[in-house]
Amino acid sequence: MTQVLVTGGSGFIGSWCVLALLQAGHDVRTTVRDLGRESALRAQLHAAAEFDDVRLTVIRADLRNDDGWADAVAGCEYMLHVASPTLRSAPESEEAMVSAARDGVLRVLRAARDARVRRVVLTSAFGAVGYGHPPRSTPFTEEDWTNVDADIAPYQRSKTLAERAAWRFVQDEGDGLELTAVHPVAVIGPVLGPDDPPSLRIIHSMLDGQVPACPPFGSSWVDVRDVADLHLRAMTDPAAAGQRWLASAGRSLRIVEVAHILRQRLGDRAAKAPTRELPLALARVLSRFNPQLRALRPQLGQDFDATSAKAEQLLGWTPRPIADTIADTAESLLAHSMTTRR
């Protein structure tokens, strides 16, 4: 099998990509910013699946500088570039966050080109597709791009500008390097260890009773295991080169619908999940004072619907039912003691 580099292998999506590659028989090299996380990463992966430990190599490399990237990518046929500034560890300013994402993408693409990597799969996000637009009744597709001139969050702007920079680089300086981009919607699913991915915090908070009423908006959702599967398909399928791929398990679900699914599937263990949605007008007033609602203000009143018809038809990708994923997510959070319920 081939050698594949995964950047950010200790993250939520990255660790599942590493696991999927190992299970598919590939040799994997992955980067982390701190080698102190290597033993925990290996333990989490071994707890989830059996594999020969020598098939996984962990290398220290940081998106903020060039050190280590030439060694990390040497001899690799493919790269999954998953690492990116996140909502959890974002730089202090929007300018710094955009710069970190864009410069990091260009740094790894240069290393991939120089090492004669065949294809890079870029983990972008729905944040680069569906924000900054007026409300719409039709689902977003891969043809859509986020409007960076609108009132959007720094993370969404950073993902959009980083992806645009990636496509420009491959076109102008790629020297035959292939690029494809995966755009997950809200990513949930089981965790491999006692981490706290930002994308799971809404379910975490509902289980803990920290959300008395649901914010009035909806999102499409997807299982992290299916996101990893789509990365592997985009890595090798000839149809994937030069394309963008939305990863969504179906129609938009309101946050209150997610809460109801938690109650239905977990019973008493989800008794603290809210049962009602905040009126939109009240949510907008409260967003002036509440930091959590303030961060959601551009989304209030909207339903962010995205379709994965392209990936399903061209790559044969099939996401699992999202109600099962919501239940699996909650079970995993409870099992890893990531809520206050003991």
Question: Any idea where the domains of the chain sit in the sequence?
Answer: 3-190+220-249+305-321
- Stretch among 81-90, 116-125, 248-257 having the lowest mean pLDDT: 81-90
3-state class of 140 per DSSP? strand
Predicted structure pTM score: 0.94
> pLDDT tens for residues 309-332?
999 999 999 999 999 999 999 999
What is the share, in percent, of the chain residues with pLDDT greater than 70? 96
User: Sorting pLDDT into bands at 50, 70 and 90, what band is 39?
Assistant: very high
User: Sorting pLDDT into bands at 50, 70 and 90, what band is 253?
Assistant: very high
pLDDT at 92: 59
pLDDT at 341: 42
> pLDDT tens for residues 44-54?
999 999 999 99
pLDDT exceeds 90 at position 1: no
Residue type, 117: V
> pLDDT tens for residues 286-302?
888 888 788 788 788 88
Q: What is the mean pLDDT of residues 32-50?
A: 92
User: How far is residue 291's CA from residue 147's CA, in Å, rounded to a whole number?
Assistant: 24
> pLDDT tens for residues 75-95?
999 999 999 865 555 455 778
User: How far is residue 335's CA from residue 342's CA, in Å, rounded to a whole number?
Assistant: 10
Class of domain 3-190+220-249+305-321 as given by CATH: alpha beta
What is the share, in percent, of the chain residues with pLDDT greater than 90? 78
Instruction: Spell out the residues 6+ positions from residue 80 whose beta carbon is closer than 8 angstroms to its own.
Output: 4, 5, 6, 7, 14, 17, 21, 120, 121, 123, 231, 235
Q: What is the mean pLDDT of residues 140-151?
A: 95
User: How far is residue 157's CA from residue 147's CA, in Å, rounded to a whole number?
Assistant: 8
Q: What is the mean pLDDT of residues 94-118?
A: 92
3-state class of 205 per DSSP? helix
- Stretch among 45-59, 63-77, 130-144, 327-341 having the lowest mean pLDDT: 327-341
pLDDT at 85: 64
pLDDT at 194: 73
User: How far is residue 122's CA from residue 244's CA, in Å, rounded to a whole number?
Assistant: 9
- Please identify every residue annotated as catalytic: 159
